Amino acid sequence: MIRLQIFMLLGFCILSFSFTFPVNAHEFRLRANHIFWKNQEAGTEKEIDFGRGVAAKILGKYPIFKDEEKVNYVSQIGTGISAQLGRPELRYYFGILDTEDINAYAAPGGYIFVTTGALKLMRNEAQLAGVLAHELAHIDQKHIVKQLNLQSSDRSLTSGIAQILGGATLSAKIALERLNDLAFKMLMEEGLSKKDEADADQKALEMLISTGYDPQSYLDYLLSLKPHLEQGQAKVLSKTHPTIDTRIKLLSEFISRHELDLIHGKKNEKRFKQFMASL
């Protein structure tokens, strides 16, 4: 009993002593998994910061469409599809750009826009879902981040985007601004690689099937784009994407190879027209 009292007294003295010492970080104790996941988190935060800057530039070029009902509808469809993606750390934002130019944009970190021109061309909800799924696939696969070489070459411990854009120094801010310009140029002029676009098209189909939408509708949308591209109503899309014939051909082959033409999902044409009637 005396020993117990000594133990308790000693413990009380220790806990009563020094309430103000901070815990030393002891960085060397951090194991590989700690460092990796911390950098992943830091990388995601930087990706969102980076994407926010790109989104601001898109909104600087096109005015935002301020019909709350329509924006909410697009958001609901997009959010439903985003649940299929493997990046729960991202929060996705959907917006409508008030321009007759037919296109949709995805900025890193979860920012997605579709133009009123594209919405007017669509015939049903499955087509809208397909376009949003295509843009979500770009974000999910970090296509812009990879194309700008923001991905770390050494994936073992560090995240490249956090390395490049990390810190609050002036040079880091300049680097961020420079990368925003490059990403914006990529979206508006240069486009992503053919491989990334084909990849996004195929992933869009997979997401449509997973969410019960009609996959053929997405192909129908691409087919409906063709005459408008020829008439110059989608100038940015023409510049930044592979030719529509190439996309249609690749997607048709993919559908045929996997017998996706046998799947007939929902189109929700009536609901789509109800929301988009006044466009």
Partner 1 sequence: MVRKMKKDLSNLWLPFNVLLIIICITPSGLHADDAHYKNMLIGERAATMGGSYVAVSDDSTGCYYNPGGIAYAVGDSLSGSGNVMHQMKTVYHQAIGTKDWVRDSEALVPNYFSVLKKFKSYSFCFSYVVPEAFIEHQDLVFENPLSTVKKYYQSLHSEDITYLMGPSAAMSLGEDISIGLTLYYHYRSFMRQQHYFLESTDGSYQVFYESKKQREDGLMPKIGAQWSPLNLFTFGVALDQTILFNAPYQGDLSYHSTDNSTGTVSLSTTMNRTKTELKRNMPLHIVFGAAYFPTPSQLYTVDIDYYQAQEKGRADVINYSGGTEYYINPTNAVRLGLFTNYTNLPQADSSTTSPYEYIDIYGVSFGYTSYSSSSSLTFGTIYTSGTGQAWLYEGLTESRKMTRDSLTFLFSASSNL
Q: Which residues bind partner 1 (CB under 8 A)?
A: 1, 3-4, 7-8, 10-11, 14-15, 17-19, 21-24, 26, 28-37, 40-41, 156-157
Closest approach of partner 1 to the CB of residue 10, in Å: 6
User: In terms of CB distance, is 1 or 168 closer to partner 1?
Assistant: 1
Instruction: Look up residue 192 and give its two tokens.
Output: 């992503």
Which run of H or E residues covers position 106? Answer: strand 104-107
User: In terms of CB distance, is 13 or 168 closer to partner 1?
Assistant: 13
User: In terms of CB distance, is 56 or 157 closer to partner 1?
Assistant: 157
Instruction: Look up residue 132 and give its two tokens.
Output: 């949003």
The two beta strands, 93-97 and 104-107, are unpaired
How far is Cα 176 from Cα 72, in angstroms, rounded to an integer? 31
One-letter amino acid of 193: S
DSSP, residue by residue, 193-244: -HHHHHHHHHHHHHHHHHTTB-HHHHHHHHHHHHHHHHTTS-HHHHHHS--H
Closest approach of partner 1 to the CB of residue 108, in Å: 19
One-letter amino acid of 19: F
Kindly list the distances between the CA atom of residue 142 and the CA atoms of 14, 20, 115, 126, in Å, as whole numbers in the listed order.
Answer: 51, 44, 22, 24
Which positions ≥6 away from 250 have C-beta within 8 Å? 198, 201
Q: At what angle do helices 194-210 and 215-230 cross, to 10 degrees?
A: 140
Closest approach of partner 1 to the CB of residue 167, in Å: 21
How far is Cα 114 from Cα 65, in angstroms, rounded to an integer? 10
How far is Cα 181 from Cα 169, in angstroms, rounded to an integer? 19
User: In terms of CB distance, is 28 or 170 closer to partner 1?
Assistant: 28
User: In terms of CB distance, is 5 or 169 closer to partner 1?
Assistant: 5
Closest approach of partner 1 to the CB of residue 23, in Å: 4
Closest approach of partner 1 to the CB of residue 142, in Å: 17
Closest approach of partner 1 to the CB of residue 14, in Å: 5
One-letter amino acid of 53: G
How far is Cα 18 from Cα 121, in angstroms, rounded to an integer? 70
User: In terms of CB distance, is 26 or 257 closer to partner 1?
Assistant: 26
User: In terms of CB distance, is 23 or 262 closer to partner 1?
Assistant: 23
User: In terms of CB distance, is 22 or 232 closer to partner 1?
Assistant: 22
Closest approach of partner 1 to the CB of residue 151, in Å: 16
Closest approach of partner 1 to the CB of residue 18, in Å: 5
